[in-house]
Structure 1
Amino acid sequence: MRKRQASGTATTMDDGNLIRLIINLFAAGTETSSTTIVWFVLFMLHHPDVLAKIYKEIEDVVGRERAPSIRDRTKLNYLNACIMETQRLGSIVPFSLQHSCIKTTTVGGYTIPQGTVIMPILDFVLRFDKSWGDPHNFRPERFLDDSGNLKVFNEFVPFSLGRRVCLGKSMAKMELFLFLAGICQRFDIQPAVKGQLPPLKGVFGLAVTPEAYEVRFVEREM
């Protein structure tokens, strides 16, 4: 930015845009990953059997003597399936970014004039009955085949898709895996009050977050 300004080159790289980019990086990266973790913990409260399976997988693959590393990611398929199911059902970014149609186009029998502002609804795809069968149920097994390997669905689009796919997709997937593998290895996740589960209810904002809730992290014996 400074070099372009010093040379007198016409550029949009200025202090105002730099500040906006930094804000976008923090907002898009921090908010979405932390919100996904909060949804994951809430789903584990409602599905302790799933958490037990995750811990068993970590115990078998990683053990308890060391923390999970990114090298373990390809071996912890059930955990990955649970993260993917959290992203699908949590659907924390229901709308993708706005785009403008560059030429008049016909899609599904509808004519979209040039210049029309388009906003894809990712939530509709992530919870479409014909794609998922039981879209409103938390069922990580949908992402595993009969051999326990991860399945790929074209309809799994939490990061959007195509040329405008989220730039932080790879980093977010690594962050979620490392945080959640570490949490599940070290802690059992329990309700703050035994027998009382917080609601699975989202609040729409910058991202769709669960209603505020309390939780107990009980350290496992290592």
Structure 2
Amino acid sequence: MRQLDATEGKKGYNLGNLYSIVLDLYIAGMDTTITSILWGIIYLMYNPDIVKKMQKEIFEKLGEKELIEIDDKFKLPYTAAVANEIQRTANVFPQNLGRRNTKDVVIGGYKIKEGTTIMPLASAVLYDERVFPNHLKFDPNRFLNPDGSIKKVDELIPFSCGRRMCLGAEMARMEIFLIIANLFHHFDISMPSTGVQPSLYKNSGLTPKPDNFKCFIQRR
């Protein structure tokens, strides 16, 4: 910013831009991450076998380690796959913000004129049966190679893609992995013994949130 200020005619980045970026990181980052974790808890309550497998991997690879750190992610491919599947299934930002192309382009045989408003639809990819068969099923194995290592899947785009993808994507990925891994490392979270089970219904909104729910939490 100071370098640009010192260059005549180049003042595109200023304190106003910086404030906007910090605000985006704080508001957008908190809302989407919290919503993803809430959905993750719900999905894992419905899939206790996946939780047991994840907890077993953590114990076998890290033993009694108190705090799981981001460097441990490479030792925990199944847990990392669970975090990926939470992001895919939760789909907390199904439709990105509108953009406009700066010149005429042809994509897939379709002519798109300059100035056309384009709104990427992430859910069209995250729920594509050709890429993720039985897409409504919560299945971390989608992100594992046959040898059990983590598999890179280009179609996992919960933060959109390209130059205009989410600014805090890497931070959100780390947060979701660390919170889910540490939470289920220290606690068992299950359906309440009485009352209504958590709903899988997604409420409409910029980020589809779950209904309020109750669960039973017990220290392991």
Counterparts of 1:148 and 1:107, CA distance in 2: 36
Partner of 1:46: 46
Counterparts of 2:45 and 2:196, CA distance in 1: 10
Q: Deviations over 1:42-77 (max 9, x none)?
A: 001111111111111111111224221222110111
Partner of 1:140: 140
Amino acid at match of 2:214: E
Equivalent residue pairs, number: 220
Q: Give the CA deviation at 1:115.
A: 0.4
- The verdict on how the C-alpha distance between 1:122 and 1:98 changes in structure 2, with shifts beyond 3 A counting, is same
Counterparts of 1:146 and 1:30, CA distance in 2: 35
**Secondary structure in 2 matching 1:130:** coil
Partner of 1:76: 76
Partner of 1:122: 122
Partner of 2:170: 170
- The verdict on how the C-alpha distance between 1:18 and 1:146 changes in structure 2, with shifts beyond 3 A counting, is closer
Q: Give the CA deviation at 1:41.
A: 0.2
Q: Deviations over 1:104-127 (max 9, x none)?
A: 222223221110010110010000
- The verdict on how the C-alpha distance between 1:68 and 1:131 changes in structure 2, with shifts beyond 3 A counting, is same
Q: Deviations over 1:59-101 (max 9, x none)?
A: 1111224221222110111111111111111100001232111
List runs of 5+ in structure 2 lacking aligned partners: none
- The verdict on how the C-alpha distance between 1:13 and 1:108 changes in structure 2, with shifts beyond 3 A counting, is closer
1:113 aligned onto 2:113: yes
Counterparts of 1:159 and 1:65, CA distance in 2: 31
Q: Give the CA deviation at 1:12.
A: 6.0
TM-score of the superposed pair, with normalisation by structure 2: 0.89
List runs of 5+ in structure 1 lacking aligned partners: none
**Secondary structure in 2 matching 1:199:** coil
1:57 aligned onto 2:57: yes
Counterparts of 2:39 and 2:52, CA distance in 1: 17
Q: Deviations over 1:132-167 (max 9, x none)?
A: 111111111111111101112221111211222222
Q: Give the CA deviation at 1:14.
A: 6.3
Does the aligned pair in 1 maintain the 2:25–2:167 contact within 8 Å? no
- The verdict on how the C-alpha distance between 1:107 and 1:168 changes in structure 2, with shifts beyond 3 A counting, is same
**Secondary structure in 2 matching 1:106:** strand
